[in-house]
Chain A
Amino acid sequence: MLPLDGLSTYSLEQMSDEEFWNYARQRASVASRISFPEQDDQDQYLECKLSSGYCLLPLRAIIEVVPPPHRFARLPSTPGWMCGIAAWHGETIAVIDLDLYLSGTGNSSPDAMLLVASHAELTIGLLVPGVGQTTTVQLEQMMPATTLECEPATHFVLRFASAGSKGSTQEEVVRGIYDGRTVLDAPALLSGVVQQIERATHNG
């Protein structure tokens, strides 16, 4: 059962019908956002260090974790958060600075790693300042992203979400908060990245 956000049963009783149903609708929308298929319950996630917090990426979306190449080839008309392109298994993939993409800030780190993530034939390199342990996320314990205000460690998501110019998929990128870390939705993240890289050429 979802927490009542400090509301007691008595408070519920004091509500008018309209207030009650508004509240119910609000709770229902939250519930729908954190309800996932049964098979996702025990998903493994990789902890990634970002400059302003930690995030979790589903392991099933990550094909490989490798040290980043010495340098990336630049491509014209790309967003500022795109590092460039790199060779991976004989193919050319786009590499983005995940920190810069999510929080707007990015610093080079000696522990930086390149996560090669893939979904639906889209392969993207995600450069992160560091990676931590893998962890099992109990999805039923995951908090909705709307409670972010209470999580200082994840304030980058707020900045990310407030950057409305990046497209309409921002809300979908964050699945929720688990143990103070932001759980990212890899398919939404990758498709958003690809969409913005593609559109950058029209703006260039």
Chain B
Amino acid sequence: MDDTNSPFHQDELSPEDLEVLRTFHAIEEPAADMLQEALWPGIPPNHPQEATAGLDISSDDEMLVLFTTEVGEDIATMRLALQQLEQDERLDSPAFLALKRTAHKVAGTAAAIGCDSMSKIARHMETVIRLLEGGAIVYLTGLIALGHAVEALESTLQSIVSHGYESINSLLELEEEYGVLNIEIHTGSMPGQPLPGDTASTLFHTVSQHTAPVNLQHLNRLEQHAEKLIELHTPLAHAQKEVETALDELHAAQARLRRLEPLLSTLSVSLNAASGAMNTDAGRPPSSLVARILQEAAQRTGHLHQSKSALPAQLLPAQETALWDEMEIDRFTEANVLAHSFTEAIADVATATSQLRLAFEHLNSIVTQQVDQAKIVRSNAHLLRSVPFSVLVTQLQQSVELIAGDQIGRVQLELSGETIEIDQDILETLTDPLLELVQSTVAEGLFFAKSQEQGEERKLRAWFNAHAIGNEVSIEIGFSLPISPGAITALRETVHHLYGSISLHERARDGMALRLRFPRSQRIIQGLLVRAGGQGIVVPFSQVKRIYYHKQEPGEAHPQDVPFAGTPAAYHLNTLLGFSTGNYLADKTFRTILIPELDDSQIVIEVDEVVGEVELVMKTLAAHLCRPGIAATAIDGSGNVLLVVNLPQIIQLQQAQQHDGNAVIETGTLNDRAPSPPQLTTNRRQKILIADDSVYIRRSISLTLSREGYDVLEAVDGIQTLEVLSKEAPDLLLLDIEMPNLNGHGVLNIIRVQQRFPELKIVMLTSRSSEKHKQRARALGAHFYLTKPCPQDLLLETIQSLLVPGGES
């Protein structure tokens, strides 16, 4: 379970738990403060602006002392936590959280100084903790494994202190012991044990970054459908065989026709020749016997004999109808047989063609079935990633109970749609902002009700409803009282990140409700394929309220210049994306307008045309291709790349630009825009704030940055980071994720919501290296993501590139 899954929520802890945590924290901080006092006498601990004043540490030994002291304290914290855990078998206890956080901290700090064995041992501890949380190992085994790891850490640290180098023996012994305990530390699993998570309550507990718990019911269904898909191979093979047979028959028929063709030609030539000979004899029959019979007949009847050729009309021209010989029957039979053969050949071809058509229809039918079956399999595969809405509802309920305490009786909860399946990633992303929303609203509501009530007890009503329509999920969260605007802002950001939309609905008597709409899956996009500036762009259905076709009257002003359909501004999608506009509006009679699904949008979007509806697999963009407002790409059947846009995000960017005075980008691309004005107009030293709970990391980076001429500030946790940001207004923030009190993501979230630091550049510096963390940090506004241990050159280069006025082009 990573830090995003288990953020440390102080609100969920009892006062006793918080006290225990404070004790743990107090154990760490005095040591660090004492160390600081020893190294920088006279400078108060945790005093950011003076932390680097007069800093002149150049000795590696001193840094080593700092590191060993810090890790020694961390080991002591771990031992204390383990003692607590022996008494209190709770995975959500403060001791467990402290152990988890400290292990992560040691892993990062040790890696930064190059103590790979210690870092690895700490990583093993993190793995064991994940296994414990996922239920893959029993509690006692987990504690034993963690105890061994702490001992290994201690002896490795001892080797550094005593001998000046890091011994690998303890790590090897630990891995051997884990083998005895049957813990596959490298894969993060227990051999022979199923993956945890067949119940909803454990669905969020990922075993590792690369595996996810699986709903067994969905898995069985997927297997059945996959088997059906495989079974389709046999009829498919039969159908193909039929097509092959039909093709063979068609070829044979064609061959027969080819053979007949020269015969017919020869016959035609000979008939022509015969006709020529007949003409020279002026109609006299070639046989004397026949001539005599005919002559007698003519004398008897007075009529000349007329030839009655049996040859088909198509073989003998009209003038040859008198062509016959004395053995007319022979001539008739030969031609008739030929004609029959030809007719049969044509019939054969027709039959073969018909069979081929049938075979093709059959084949198409089978292929259609296979495609349908494949779609079912794909849908089932997506369901593997889904969990019921009830998982989130449970957390929301617990949150409400926690906030309400003994006033829980005054809160009335109404739930529906708990069985609606929603993608795990979506639900995980929504969890924090929704909990924040519910907690703040309920807390305010109870306080307000208490201060206002006059004897009459009024109940606070809250409702959570989920609906699924097609590929979309809609969640409504309502309260019988106003909702905090700050919480809505945070939630809006999150929903937009999920390619969804959010709208606020006020009810006269019932308070307010938020309606969230987003795709059921983040992998398949269903949306409108529109064309803008000659480029195909996909807009998710959930972000479009409706399409409006506006007839442009002659002489009517450009919709970008005047209010359109009652809204202040209409923008062409091409312009919003920063592409050159050209004259796309020149001769258009009808304008195609998309009305975004936003409750407070002041912008409508114009596109060249709506091509149709599409359902495509989304392709995540590589990190260097990620751009604000571009959610992903998709590839159509012709291999064209389509941009999948995040309409609310684009609008938000546009509104921010307007707010900054950059009203409208009329023409030109973003590439052509002049560089932003220099960040610093004076020669003052640039300030960098390092937010990291590791003393060693802070000090080592501080040294590096001070040497480069930066003023350095420090913060030990998330709360202090926010305090320093408010007081000192640094130019750049180096931010760790795992920190006590408020983690890095929380800090990012608050910075983003408050919008008080528009010029601040944020670089994440963390040992969390998964793409998921990177994406989340970027979504929350981080400018760069570096992983520990980070080469000094890379760190400096990144900082320089972000702080150079105008940036690097």
Contact, CB under 8 Å: B535 / A77: no
Q: Decide if A79 is an interface residue (CB 8 Å cutoff).
A: yes
What residues of A have a CB within 8 angstroms of the CB of B578 in the complex? 76-77, 204
CB < 8 Å neighbour of B797 from A74, A75, A91, A168: A168
Q: Decide if A201 is an interface residue (CB 8 Å cutoff).
A: yes
Contact, CB under 8 Å: B671 / A73: no
Q: Chain A: which residue is nearest B643 at the CB level?
A: A73
Contact, CB under 8 Å: B635 / A75: no
Contact, CB under 8 Å: A74 / B535: yes
Contact, CB under 8 Å: A73 / B630: no
Q: Chain A: which residue is nearest B626 at the CB level?
A: A201
Q: Chain B: which residue is nearest A94 at the CB level?
A: B625
Whole-angstrom CA separation of A78 from B578 in the bound complex: 10
Contact, CB under 8 Å: A200 / B641: no
What residues of B have a CB within 8 angstroms of the CB of A167 in the complex? 808
Q: Decide if A110 is an interface residue (CB 8 Å cutoff).
A: no
Residues 50-72 of A contacting B (Cβ, < 8 Å): 69, 71-72
What residues of A have a CB within 8 angstroms of the CB of B671 in the complex? 77-80, 200, 204
Residues 669-683 of B contacting A (Cβ, < 8 Å): 669-671, 673, 675-676
Q: How far is the CB of B674 from chain A (nearest CB, A)?
A: 10
Contact, CB under 8 Å: B639 / A69: yes
Contact, CB under 8 Å: A76 / B629: yes
Q: Decide if B802 is an interface residue (CB 8 Å cutoff).
A: yes
Q: Decide if A197 is an interface residue (CB 8 Å cutoff).
A: yes
A68-104 interface mask toward B, CB cutoff 8 Å, 1 = contact, 0 = none?
Answer: 0101111111111000111100111110000000000
Contact, CB under 8 Å: A76 / B627: yes
Residues 94-148 of A contacting B (Cβ, < 8 Å): 94
Contact, CB under 8 Å: A202 / B807: yes
Whole-angstrom CA separation of A201 from B801 in the bound complex: 12
What residues of A have a CB within 8 angstroms of the CB of B627 in the complex? 75-77, 201, 204
Whole-angstrom CA separation of A168 from B669 in the bound complex: 26
Interface bracket on B: 35 or more
Q: Decide if B439 is an interface residue (CB 8 Å cutoff).
A: no
Contact, CB under 8 Å: B633 / A92: yes
What residues of A have a CB within 8 angstroms of the CB of B641 in the complex? 72-73, 84-87, 92
What residues of A have a CB within 8 angstroms of the CB of B628 in the complex? 76, 201
What residues of A have a CB within 8 angstroms of the CB of B635 in the complex? 87, 90, 92
Q: Decide if A149 is an interface residue (CB 8 Å cutoff).
A: no
Q: Which of B46-54, B313-321, B616-624, B729-737 contacts A (4 or more CB under 8 A)?
A: B616-624
Whole-angstrom CA separation of A60 from B621 in the bound complex: 25
Q: How far is the CB of A193 from chain B (nearest CB, A)?
A: 9
Q: With a 10 A CB-CB cut-off, give which of A86, A166, A196, A201 has the most chain B CB atoms.
A: A201
CB < 8 Å neighbour of B642 from A73, A94, A203: A73
Whole-angstrom CA separation of A78 from B625 in the bound complex: 9
Whole-angstrom CA separation of A198 from B785 in the bound complex: 12
Q: Decide if B407 is an interface residue (CB 8 Å cutoff).
A: no
Q: Decide if B579 is an interface residue (CB 8 Å cutoff).
A: yes
What residues of A have a CB within 8 angstroms of the CB of B807 in the complex? 199, 202-203
Whole-angstrom CA separation of A91 from B676 in the bound complex: 33
B719-751 interface mask toward A, CB cutoff 8 Å, 1 = contact, 0 = none?
Answer: 000000000000000000000000000000000
B116-156 interface mask toward A, CB cutoff 8 Å, 1 = contact, 0 = none?
Answer: 00000000000000000000000000000000000000000
Q: Chain A: which residue is nearest B650 at the CB level?
A: A76
Whole-angstrom CA separation of A20 from B669 in the bound complex: 54
Q: How far is the CB of B776 from chain A (nearest CB, A)?
A: 17
What residues of A have a CB within 8 angstroms of the CB of B630 in the complex? 75-76
B597-627 interface mask toward A, CB cutoff 8 Å, 1 = contact, 0 = none?
Answer: 0000000000000000000000101111111
Q: Decide if B662 is an interface residue (CB 8 Å cutoff).
A: no
Q: Decide if B162 is an interface residue (CB 8 Å cutoff).
A: no
Q: Chain B: which residue is nearest A86 at the CB level?
A: B641
Q: Decide if B288 is an interface residue (CB 8 Å cutoff).
A: no
What residues of A have a CB within 8 angstroms of the CB of B801 in the complex? 199
Known: A76-B629, A87-B639. A203 touches B808 (CB 8 A): yes
Q: Decide if B577 is an interface residue (CB 8 Å cutoff).
A: yes
Q: Decide if A194 is an interface residue (CB 8 Å cutoff).
A: yes
Whole-angstrom CA separation of A56 from B643 in the bound complex: 34
Q: Decide if B30 is an interface residue (CB 8 Å cutoff).
A: no
Q: Chain B: which residue is nearest A199 at the CB level?
A: B808
Whole-angstrom CA separation of A200 from B670 in the bound complex: 10
Contact, CB under 8 Å: A92 / B625: yes
Residues 528-543 of B contacting A (Cβ, < 8 Å): 535-536
Contact, CB under 8 Å: A203 / B809: yes
Contact, CB under 8 Å: A203 / B625: no
Q: With a 10 A CB-CB cut-off, give which of A77, A166, A168 has the most chain B CB atoms.
A: A77
Q: Decide if A165 is an interface residue (CB 8 Å cutoff).
A: yes
What residues of A have a CB within 8 angstroms of the CB of B536 in the complex? 73
What residues of A have a CB within 8 angstroms of the CB of B577 in the complex? 76
What residues of A have a CB within 8 angstroms of the CB of B643 in the complex? 73, 75
What residues of B have a CB within 8 angstroms of the CB of A94 in the complex? 622, 624-625
What residues of B have a CB within 8 angstroms of the CB of A166 in the complex? 809
Q: Chain A: which residue is nearest B645 at the CB level?
A: A76
Whole-angstrom CA separation of A92 from B579 in the bound complex: 20
Contact, CB under 8 Å: B809 / A165: yes
Known: A80-B671, A203-B809, A204-B578. A87 touches B625 (CB 8 A): no
Known: A75-B630, A202-B802. A91 touches B619 (CB 8 A): yes
Q: With a 10 A CB-CB cut-off, give which of B577, B625, B626, B675 has the most chain A CB atoms.
A: B625
Q: Chain A: which residue is nearest B624 at the CB level?
A: A198
Q: Decide if B783 is an interface residue (CB 8 Å cutoff).
A: yes
What residues of B have a CB within 8 angstroms of the CB of A75 in the complex? 625, 627, 630, 643
CB < 8 Å neighbour of A92 from B621, B673, B676, B809: B621
Contact, CB under 8 Å: B633 / A204: no
Whole-angstrom CA separation of A162 from B625 in the bound complex: 26
What residues of B have a CB within 8 angstroms of the CB of A196 in the complex? 808
Residues 548-577 of B contacting A (Cβ, < 8 Å): 577
Whole-angstrom CA separation of A198 from B630 in the bound complex: 14
Whole-angstrom CA separation of A73 from B532 in the bound complex: 12
Whole-angstrom CA separation of A84 from B536 in the bound complex: 13
Whole-angstrom CA separation of A180 from B808 in the bound complex: 32
Residues 757-809 of B contacting A (Cβ, < 8 Å): 783, 797, 801-802, 806-809
Q: With a 10 A CB-CB cut-off, give which of B577, B623, B624, B643 has the most chain A CB atoms.
A: B624
Known: A92-B641, A199-B801, A202-B802. A73 touches B633 (CB 8 A): yes
Known: A92-B619, A202-B802, A203-B807. A73 touches B640 (CB 8 A): yes
Residues 154-198 of A contacting B (Cβ, < 8 Å): 165-168, 194-198
Whole-angstrom CA separation of A156 from B413 in the bound complex: 71
Q: Chain A: which residue is nearest B634 at the CB level?
A: A92
Whole-angstrom CA separation of A89 from B210 in the bound complex: 23
Q: How far is the CB of A5 from chain B (nearest CB, A)?
A: 32
Contact, CB under 8 Å: B624 / A197: yes
Residues 299-324 of B contacting A (Cβ, < 8 Å): none
CB < 8 Å neighbour of A76 from B579, B624, B675: B579
Contact, CB under 8 Å: B626 / A85: no
CB < 8 Å neighbour of A85 from B579, B633, B669, B670: B633
What residues of B have a CB within 8 angstroms of the CB of A86 in the complex? 641
What residues of B have a CB within 8 angstroms of the CB of A165 in the complex? 808-809
Whole-angstrom CA separation of A79 from B625 in the bound complex: 11
Q: How far is the CB of A168 from chain B (nearest CB, A)?
A: 7
What residues of B have a CB within 8 angstroms of the CB of A202 in the complex? 783, 802, 807
What residues of B have a CB within 8 angstroms of the CB of A168 in the complex? 797
CB < 8 Å neighbour of A198 from B623, B673, B675, B806: B623
What residues of B have a CB within 8 angstroms of the CB of A93 in the complex? 622
Whole-angstrom CA separation of A197 from B808 in the bound complex: 11
Task: Give A contacts to B, CB under 8 Å.
Answer: 69, 71-80, 84-87, 90-94, 165-168, 194-204
User: Which 6 pairs across A and B sit closest by C-beta, in order of nearness?
Assistant: A198-B624, A73-B641, A204-B670, A203-B807, A76-B578, A87-B635
Contacts beyond the supplied A76-B629, A92-B619, A93-B622: 13 A-B pairs with Cβ under 8 Å? A73-B641, A73-B643, A74-B535, A76-B630, A77-B671, A85-B625, A87-B635, A92-B622, A167-B808, A197-B625, A199-B809, A200-B671, A204-B627
Can you pick out 5 interface pairs between chain A and chain B where the beta carbons lie within 8 Å of each other? A77-B578, A91-B619, A92-B635, A200-B671, A201-B626
